[in-house]
Structure formats: structure tokens, C-alpha cells
Amino acid sequence: MLFLKNWTKMRKLLILILILFSYLTGVAGVANAEKIPILMYHSIGDGTGYKRSARDLFCSPPQFWAHLLYIQQAGYQTVTFKDVMNDRFLQKKIILTFDDGYENQWEAYDELLKRHMVAVFFPVLRAVDKNHKYLNSDQLRVMARMGMEIGSHSMTHPVLSRSNAKKVEYEIKESKLQLEKITGKEVITFCYPYGRYNNKVMQVTESVGYYYARKIGRASCRERV
């Protein structure tokens, strides 16, 4: 399961849980007043040309469209962490997240927009504007303007629990500042690279102004939709 860490600045304690199916390409099916399912995606595409291990992080477009259809038909409303923070609560909420800032996520964004759905994107700052494989600043700005939430996934995607204090602060704080410069919006959510963190990392995440941090939890069966 994935948990969103709720920081002391929050007005109420929420524990949001992600139920993952497969390598984060499935659809979660549970939610109640305290729990919000979160789906984690990486790449949208067929993974052609990638190693098998990397291909497992791909969700094909038809599969992704099927997930969205399922979410809609099951009566879920996609929300962002900002929606949660602002108490824009609906009956059945779900959060869709996209890690690492791959350019193929633009296709997902486009489809979400058509369906009046939202998601949270977590680019790694080092990769932004790097090359055509990654989302660029203009795309992130547009996505933010169109209602998507842009959160931070660090500067260079290190294992923070193994990094020294200076690096931890740099990765967490600098990425927030740079993303805010790019999008013009406050960045309230951090996504731990590899889902790895410790108490010190959590403390820094809180102290530099994030409200939520997403970690990785359990993955289970593939192809539930």
C-alpha cells in the first residue's frame, strides 16, 4: 500500500492509501472516508525497445484508457492532493499519480483532460527540459494551469534514506523551489524516489513546506480491468 504522509500543518489527519495492482498499472477498488486509493503510473506506451524490467513500468494506452473508463463507471472522482488539502471532498475519490516525468505522460494528460479528470505528476527536476524523453517546462506549466497537480520527485532521484543531510535538503527543497518557478504554483506534495525515506527525510520534507509525501507500498495482481 502507498501512504500519504500527513504533516502537522494539515488541519486534519488523513491517511490515504494506495492499493496497487501489478506494477502500478491497475485500478484500486476500495475507498472510504479515511482512505483514498492512489494509482501510480510511470510510462504510458507499449515499452517497445525497452528492457523487460523497464517494460514492466509501462501501461499501454488501451489499458490506461480502460482504467479510466473503469474509474468513471465505478463512480470515482479523480482528485489531487491539493483537492484533499482544501477539503474538496467527494463521495468516492481516487488519486492518479505519474512518476519520473516521462514525455509519454503527456498522452495520459491529454486523455485525462478530455475526460475532465485530474492527476498528480511527479517529475524529476534533473530530467525536465533534458531531452524529448521527458516532459519539458512548458508542458508542466500547461498541465498545472489545466488543473493537474505537479509535485516534486527530487532533483536527481537518489535514495534519500542513504543520502547525507546536505543532499537530502538540496533534493527536497531545491526541487520544490524550481518547480514552483516553472509552474507558478505552490508545490505541496513530495514523492520519495524509490519510495525510500527515513525519519530525517520526513522531517526535512515537512520543514521545507510540503504537506504530503507519497511512498510506495504493496503491488499485487496484474490486469484487473
Residues contributing to the site for Zn ion (CB under 5 A): 99-100
The smaller minimum CB distance to Zn ion, of residues 83 and 99, is found at: 99
Minimum CB separation from Zn ion for residue 157, in Å? Answer: 6
The smaller minimum CB distance to Zn ion, of residues 109 and 121, is found at: 121
The smaller minimum CB distance to Zn ion, of residues 31 and 125, is found at: 125
Phi, psi for 188 (deg, rounded to 5): -110, -10
The strand order across the sheet containing 212-214 reads: 16-18, 2-6, 212-214, 189-191
The smaller minimum CB distance to Zn ion, of residues 14 and 124, is found at: 124
Minimum CB separation from Zn ion for residue 59, in Å? Answer: 15
Minimum CB separation from Zn ion for residue 153, in Å? Answer: 6
Minimum CB separation from Zn ion for residue 104, in Å? Answer: 15
Among 116, 188, 177, which residue's Cα sits nearest to residue 150? 188
Minimum CB separation from Zn ion for residue 99, in Å? Answer: 4
Q: Within 10 A of 192 (CB to CB), how many other CB atoms are there?
A: 23
The grid coordinates listed for 43 are 510510462
The Cα–Cα gap between 138 and 131 comes to: 13
Among 72, 108, 88, which residue's Cα sits nearest to residue 14? 88
Residue 154: which residues within 8 A CB-CB, separation 6 or more?
124, 125, 160, 171, 172, 175, 190, 191, 193
The smaller minimum CB distance to Zn ion, of residues 99 and 171, is found at: 99
Residue 104 DSSP label: T
Radius of gyration of the chain (CA): 16
